[in-house]
Structure 1
């Protein structure tokens, strides 16, 4: 928490120094807001043409300051460091183009050489990088483990239930404790045997019995 606060303060100071630098003299008494931004990307170097406010060196520094504010709010070290790189990159590029146009670069006490604007931009970029290094960034929350009421007891042991055997299907065998069971094979239907009624045979009757064709009712054997 303390590192984030210190890093944010350094980053904001650096962004302020970078944004205010174009309103100071950069070289030979000429302010940075008068240098055209497009002259930095041409082969001839800077010219004497006067640039508009948001078409000058002020534009990249304002963008860097906006990125710095977002990085401070989100506690993103990457965004703050990116803003510092942008400020230093445009400052160094301007020095290269001015050297091509002037043939030399001098530092004079009478204001005919490099001015305080260049120093402010350089200090602002360094402060942004230093603030990104000091910041600790966002911390990821670790998942909290469940707390047991009694830690003196034995550690809990987790048992897994036995895996039940797969159900029997028509596509494969059923697994049992003894081994795989062969699939049920449908048996062919058994043919019914032909039914033959046995021939009727009259039981033998003695002569004179009741019911015999030769006997008479009332006759005793």
Structure 2
């Protein structure tokens, strides 16, 4: 977040310097807006160009790329804007050097002016802003963790109806509910004894008294 803010500030400052540079002196007191855009490809002349068709046009396009790049946090667009500014500035220097024979840097408005410095500085700030910006980050996708399948129940054989004491229906081992449940067994009816009472509790016969 902080990197995007700092990079955006640098990019906007570079775009502002680039757009402002054609309104400053570029060479021998001549402003950048006086150079026609087509002269960068055909050769520099003394004719004064219209503002809309001057070197201001590619710099304004670079400023538009910068605004879109900052809005969408696109490092590529901001870097492209810096390349456009530096590219046209270098191309202008090549054409002026061919027309003048050589480029000079001097005082009193002679030679390269402050406008060229502003253009170079703006292009460098644009590239620096693209480097500082972190750009857009994709959404983090959380890995889906599937739940472990429940253990399959242990098959238990059906008890034999002829066996009065069937096997324990619950297997030995850990149980998910805690303690093992208590098994119930069917009751077996036993035949009644020959005597209804045990010998010790037989009622006394009145005839034996």
Q: TM-score, normalised by structure 1?
A: 0.66
Alignment correspondent of 1:134: 132
Structure 1: runs of 5 or more not aligned: 149-154, 160-221
User: Shift in Å at residue 109 of structure 1?
Assistant: 1.4
Looking at structure 2, the residues matched to 13 and 33 of structure 1 have their Cα atoms a distance apart, in angstroms, of 20
Rg: which structure is higher?
1
1:14-47, CA deviations, whole angstroms, 9 ceiling, x for partnerless residues? Answer: 00000000000000000000001101111xx200
SS at match of 1:26: strand
SS at match of 2:52: helix
Q: Does 1:122 align with 2:114?
A: no
Of 156, 160, 182, the match for 2:148 = 156
SS at match of 1:113: coil
Alignment correspondent of 1:191: none
Alignment correspondent of 1:12: 12
Alignment correspondent of 1:3: 3
User: Shift in Å at residue 156 of structure 1?
Assistant: 1.5
User: Shift in Å at residue 72 of structure 1?
Assistant: 0.1
Looking at structure 2, the residues matched to 62 and 147 of structure 1 have their Cα atoms a distance apart, in angstroms, of 52
Alignment correspondent of 1:151: none
| Closer/same/farther in 2, CA of residues 54 and 158 from structure 1, 3 Å limit | farther
Which runs of structure 2 are paired with 1:1-150 in the superposition (5 Å)? 1-42=1-42, 45-145=43-143
Structure 2: runs of 5 or more not aligned: 152-209
Q: TM-score, normalised by structure 2?
A: 0.69
Which runs of structure 2 are paired with 1:178-189 in the superposition (5 Å)? none
SS at match of 1:53: coil
Q: With CA pairs under 8 Å and 6+ residues apart, which has the higher RCO, 1 or 2? A: 2
Q: Give the 4+ runs in structure 1 shifted more than 3 A.
A: 145-148
